[in-house]
Chains A and B, each alone.
Chain A
Amino acid sequence: MSTADASLPAKFDWSSEAAAARRRRRHMADRRLRLLGIGAICIAVGLLGILIVSLVANGYRSFVQTMVTVPVYVDPQYVSEDDPSKGNYRAIVKDTLAQLFPEVTDPRQQRDLGQLLTNNTQYMIRDRVVADPALIGTTFDITVPVSDPFDQLEKGVLSRDLPEDQRKIDDQQIGWYDQLVEEGRISTPFNWGLFFNSDSRFPELAGLAGAIVGSFYALLVCFLISFPVGIAAAVYLEEFAPKNRWTDLVEVNINNLAAVPSIVFGLLGLAVFLNFFGLPRSAPLVGGMVLSLMTLPTIIIVTRASLKAVPPSIREAGLGMGASRHQVVMHHVLPLALPGILTGTIIGLAQALGETAPLLLIGMNAFITSPPGGLLDASTALPTQIFIWADSPERGFVDRTSAAILVLLGFLIIMNGIAIFLRQRLERTW
């Protein structure tokens, strides 16, 4: 052995059994980690799948509605042409049914017969006649929803095999219904009412229009407040503020604000916006203001992260040209950070869209049967509408609740989709 070899470090035996075993263990650990990750993903996807499947299983029925088409004779004896809105439409409905079922003469049975149609049939006829007074004295076909128990019967939720005394509708009513089916008067079209009707005590008439418009207004207010304020705050903190104890304090508090439970913001809104400033209860304006309290920290944090992600070399380039700091921010940094800011804002708004607790506290869970006409009208929002329906005892609202959740999820998916699209479309690389 030469002296040169002796000075080299001892040679490690890579092919020894111990070394091979150690390598095998390392590969095993790799595989275990990967399997754990796949398992975790499977659990997450599975839970999401269970949620969606159960919602769809319950909610799909609400996307169709059982309707009945009946010929209506607008008897001039009940309705005067001078003031068609004052007519006795109840009697017209009664006559219509009497004409379809001439054999029913007993008043009690006639009342049972009246339960086939939705309670609001008389108002629907009235609205048609008011819109077109020429209908008085003529017969026209009108398609109205059947009342909830018959809707459930048609959809198979209410079983005919149940003993009669456990059903809301008796065998005779089912017989009448079957007669209507035989006459081809029953249809089950897509339930547009779910989107274009407002809330109602009757499930067959209840829809989400008021909630959708209310949520839209609230999000609009939320965006208009939190987007400019959030960006201004973030730009100041990130680009201009000196790094000292005060800005650290502000930063910590903004992060804390993002973690405050939403119900606390609701209480704040109740105490400040409603009780102190006297803004109207249940209004989308107040809802939006409360939601913006929640969205603001999210937007500030996201904007700061986006500004941080803009490489400092861009700022140096701008400053080195003699641009003022304001010009560097407005011309270079902010445009480059904008995709990230927009993405974060949309995700923040999507969170706000699903937020329920603060809206409950400011009264956006009221029973309101028309969409809000403006920011100050009383209104509900999508999540609070779900809350109201989930609380309602009628069988039809079980389906509607699931359907409303699906609609809300649909809006969330659309918003997140827009966020992803914007990110991919606008993102720049350096």
Chain B
Amino acid sequence: MNQVTTAEQRAATGPIIIPDPDMNPVRVSAKDVSVFYGAKQALFDVAIDIPERSVTAFIGPSGCGKSTFLRCINRMNDTIDGCRVTGDITLDGRDIYDRTLDVVELRARVGMVFQKPNPFPKSIYENIAYGPRIHGLASNKAALDEIVETSLRKAGLWNEVKDRLDEPGTGMSGGQQQRLCIARAIAVSPEVILMDEPCSALDPIATAKVEELIDELKENYCIIIVTHSMQQAARVSQRTAFFHLGILVEAGPTEHIFTNPKDERTHDYITGRFG
């Protein structure tokens, strides 16, 4: 039997972070991050390091704060009225909540893929070209075409859509739409890609394709994925963090979390006893 600690013990000592000597250099680092929605605190003193060129999965029951934390990393919580974030989050050592940091730049560097595929109701080409265009990444039409093609190729969508780039992105299947959203995110060359339950609206085949894509993308990007599916976390991620009731309970290499959890709650969750 595993050596597990009880919830009472945990509350006093903070999260268990299982050390990993093989971990890539840290890209995103959080310290003492708390989030409040009005008077209600949704996240309590989260501290975690997220390595580059790998996939980190956030798991936990509904309402545990994993999406809230994810949305702190590109400051999407700024758009919610009454939402307040305290603590430090750094991207490559730089505080992202610093006054001098432009949130527009941050969101270009930290792309996001949402739960429900949300392509713009424009053509496939325009969906991809929008980001490079507003950020001025392409100086002419040829360069823009180039970016669109590479992005779609990286998202494994090029062969499916190369003959119908003018058709609306909303006319594709759900799985294709989600991969279009991923292509759209990588078109602006982000360093980090946040994925908020990217497969929850997809069927198993489309899910498999997206997971395959995530696996390829981790060679170049720091990917953080929130998922409800523990199988998915086990399949795609190198590191896993378990959240419960707004607290980061345990984080470490995925195989450790799934085979040898140190905390009672993690153990109960991955064995399906709650959540």
Contacts and interface: CB of A to CB of B under 8 A. Distances in A.
B120 A332 contact: yes
A317 B108 contact: no
A247 B111 CA distance: 32
A313 B118 CA distance: 6
A322 B81 contact: no
B253 interface: no
Contacts of B131: 321-323
Contacts of B140: none
B50 interface: no
Nearest to B184: A321
A317 B120 contact: yes
A223 to B, nearest CB: 27
B130 A320 contact: no
A336 interface: yes
Contacts of B188: 321-322
A322 B110 CA distance: 9
B107 interface: yes
B123 interface: no
Contact of B114 (A320, A323, A324, A332): A320
Would you call the interface of chain B mostly helix, strand, loop, or mixed? helix
Most buried by B among A316, A317, A332, A336: A317
Contacts of A323: 104, 130-131, 134
B170 interface: yes
A4 B40 CA distance: 47
Nearest to A320: B112
Contact of B81 (A242, A331, A430): A242
Given A314-B120, A336-B121, A319 B134 contact: no
Given A243-B81, A430-B170, A319 B107 contact: yes
Contact of A321 (B79, B105, B108, B170): B108
Interface string B130-166: 1100110000000000000000000000000000000
Contacts of A319: 76, 79, 107
A428 B121 contact: yes
Interface in A8-55: none
A317 B81 contact: no
B116 interface: yes
B185 interface: yes
A336 B40 CA distance: 34
A161 to B, nearest CB: 70
A319 B108 CA distance: 9
Interface string B166-209: 00001000000000010011001000000000000000000000
B128 to A, nearest CB: 11
Contact of A317 (B79, B119, B134, B135): B119
Interface string A310-344: 01011111111111100100011000100000000
Contacts of A321: 107-108, 111, 130-131, 134, 184-185, 188
A430 B185 contact: no
Nearest to A243: B81
Would you call the interface of chain A mostly helix, strand, loop, or mixed? helix
B114 A316 contact: yes
B68 interface: no
Contacts of A316: 76, 79, 112, 114, 118
B237 interface: no
A316 B77 CA distance: 11
A242 B82 CA distance: 10
A7 B271 CA distance: 32
Contacts of B114: 313, 316-317, 320
A362 to B, nearest CB: 43
B54 interface: no
A313 B112 CA distance: 12
A334 to B, nearest CB: 13
Contacts of B107: 319-322
Contacts of A311: 118
B185 to A, nearest CB: 7
A324 B81 contact: no
Nearest to B131: A321
Nearest to A321: B131
Interface in A230-245: 242-243
Contact of B134 (A242, A243, A315, A322): A322
B181 A317 contact: yes
A336 B118 CA distance: 14
A316 B170 CA distance: 16
Interface in B67-117: 74, 76, 79, 81, 104-108, 111-112, 114, 116
Contacts of A336: 121
Contacts of B121: 314, 336, 428, 430
A317 B116 CA distance: 10
A336 B119 CA distance: 13
Nearest to B118: A313
A314 B76 CA distance: 13
A32 to B, nearest CB: 41
Nearest to B194: A320
Contacts of B81: 242-243
Nearest to B187: A321
B118 to A, nearest CB: 4
B74 A320 contact: yes
Interface in A77-111: none
A69 B114 CA distance: 78
Contacts of A428: 121, 170
Contacts of B76: 316, 319-320
Given A319-B79, A321-B108, A430-B170, A331 B118 contact: no
Interface string A167-190: 000000000000000000000000
12 contacts: A313-B114, A313-B116, A313-B118, A316-B118, A317-B114, A320-B114, A321-B130, A321-B185, A322-B135, A323-B130, A336-B121, A430-B121
Task: List the 4 shortest-distance A-B pairs measured between CB atoms, nearest first.
Answer: A322-B108, A313-B118, A322-B107, A320-B112
Given A322-B105, A428-B170, 17 more contacts: A313-B114, A313-B116, A314-B120, A316-B76, A316-B79, A316-B112, A316-B114, A317-B119, A317-B181, A320-B74, A320-B185, A321-B131, A321-B185, A323-B131, A327-B134, A332-B120, A336-B121
